[in-house]
């Protein structure tokens, strides 16, 4: 459903993404892994339209997204979360979801005026998302009063508020405890069970190996392997790429 065809991105002389082709199938949890600096975030940024590829194209169900602006890709069904949480800290939990659903092209001031005009009412989708994200009891709290885990849940809920077909998760377990990572795994499966295809970028190997259907591995911008978690973990090129990197990268070999 989501296809990358010969995608490349150059930053000056750096080939951040180098001729990557991938097909992510409907309904799967697909992992994109690789040592630090291997091009994972750049790939997400090419899919969401934050960057324009130097060459290649991105399609969703046969529709070419490559020339579309970010908000157009959102309406086509592409949503993402960020490595660093980006919420409106001074807005409430419910308001953050409301913005995601109604206001991505509006200035915040306009959004607040409309929110108050509507008497703070929000539709059934937001109610459902609040429950799905176990944030219902926090709906009227300001986002910056949430715990770290709750902020992460709100960020995912916010991405889901645009009703995506594919959700791109950029290191959702960063900074999470083992226990949080366990909950996150359940949450990602629950997102898939809602009918949303998931592309997961993550360094926490236990999480990636435990929940993905298939994985692609990048190294220096190039795809060096693709397959089931077991196949990827056994792959000699992958093991060499990880052992050649930082200590953190050795996680794969010991997972
Ligand atoms: N905006 C940019 N300008 C110049 N170089 C960039 C830019 N973004 C990324 N790069 C370079 O492209 C390469 C790939 O970076 P990218 O952030 O995509 O890797 P990554 O796999 O997501 O890394 P990490 O796991 O550390 O987050 C790196 O060499 C990086 O320095």
Neighbour count for residue 102 (Cβ, 10 Å): 17
**Ligand 1 contact via 34 beta carbon (within 6 Å):** yes
**Ligand 1 contact via 152 beta carbon (within 6 Å):** no
**Sheet (strand 63-64) strand order:** 14-24, 2-11, 55-60, 63-64
**Token digits of residue 160:** 């889901």
**Ligand 1 contact via 11 beta carbon (within 6 Å):** yes
- In this prediction, residue 16 carries a pLDDT of 97
Residue with tokens 């940024």: 45
1-77+165-255 in CATH: which number? 3.40.50.300
Domain extent listing, the chain: 1-77+165-255, 88-163
- In this prediction, residue 111 carries a pLDDT of 62
CA of residue 76 to ligand 1 center, whole Å = 26
**Ligand 1 contact via 219 beta carbon (within 6 Å):** no
Q: Whose CA is nearest to atom 29 of ligand 1?
A: 37
**Ligand 1 contact via 39 beta carbon (within 6 Å):** yes
Residues of the chain below pLDDT 70: 103-124, 244-255
CA distance 71 to 77: 10
- In this prediction, residue 119 carries a pLDDT of 58
DSSP code at position 163: -
Task: Report which ligand 1 atom has the smallest distance to the Cα of 203.
Answer: 25
DSSP code at position 30: E
CA of residue 40 to ligand 1 center, whole Å = 8
Task: Report which ligand 1 atom has the smallest distance to the Cα of 9.
Answer: 12
Candidate from 33, 42, 172, 251 with most ligand 1 atoms within 8 A of CB, to mutate: 42
Terminal C-alpha separation, the chain? 30
**Ligand 1 contact via 41 beta carbon (within 6 Å):** yes
**Token digits of residue 250:** 């050795």
Q: Count the residues in the chain.
A: 255
- Quote the crossing angle between the two packed helices 93-102 and 108-117, to the nearest 10°: 110
CA distance 1 to 62: 7
Q: What is the pLDDT of residues 52-108, one digit of tens each?
A: 999 999 999 999 999 999 889 988 999 999 877 788 888 899 988 888 877 654 555
Neighbour count for residue 69 (Cβ, 10 Å): 10
CA of residue 203 to ligand 1 center, whole Å = 15
CA distance 145 to 225: 42
**Ligand 1 contact via 8 beta carbon (within 6 Å):** no
């Amino acid at each position: 459903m989501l296809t990358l065809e010969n995608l490349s991105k150059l930053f000056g002389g750096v080939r951040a993404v180098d001729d990557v082709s991938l097909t992510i199938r409907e309904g799967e949890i697909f992992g994109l892994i690789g040592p630090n600096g291997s091009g994972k975030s750049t790939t997400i940024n090419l899919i969401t339209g934050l960057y324009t590829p130097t060459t290649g194209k991105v399609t969703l169900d046969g529709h070419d997204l490559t020339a579309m602006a970010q908000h157009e890709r959102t309406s086509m069904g592409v949503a993402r979360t960020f490595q660093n949480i980006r919420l409106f800290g001074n807005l409430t939990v419910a308001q953050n979801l409301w913005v995601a659903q109604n206001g991505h092209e509006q200035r915040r001031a306009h959004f607040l005026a409309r929110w108050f005009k509507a008497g703070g009412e929000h539709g059934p989708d937001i109610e459902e998302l609040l429950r799905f994200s176990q944030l219902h009891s926090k709906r009227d709290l300001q986002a910056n009063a949430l715990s770290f885990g709750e902020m992460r849940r709100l960020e995912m809920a916010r991405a889901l508020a645009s009703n995506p077909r594919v959700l791109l998760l950029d290191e959702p377990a960063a900074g999470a405890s083992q226990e949080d990572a366990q909950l996150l795994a359940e949450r990602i499966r629950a997102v898939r069970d809602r009918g949303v295809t998931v592309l997961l970028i993550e360094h926490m190997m236990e999480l990636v190996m435990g929940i993905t259907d298939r994985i692609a591995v990048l190294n220096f911008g190039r795809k060096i392997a693709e397959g089931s978690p077991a196949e990827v973990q056994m792959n000699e090129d992958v093991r060499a790429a990880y052992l050649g990197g930082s200590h953190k990268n050795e996680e794969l070999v010991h997972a």
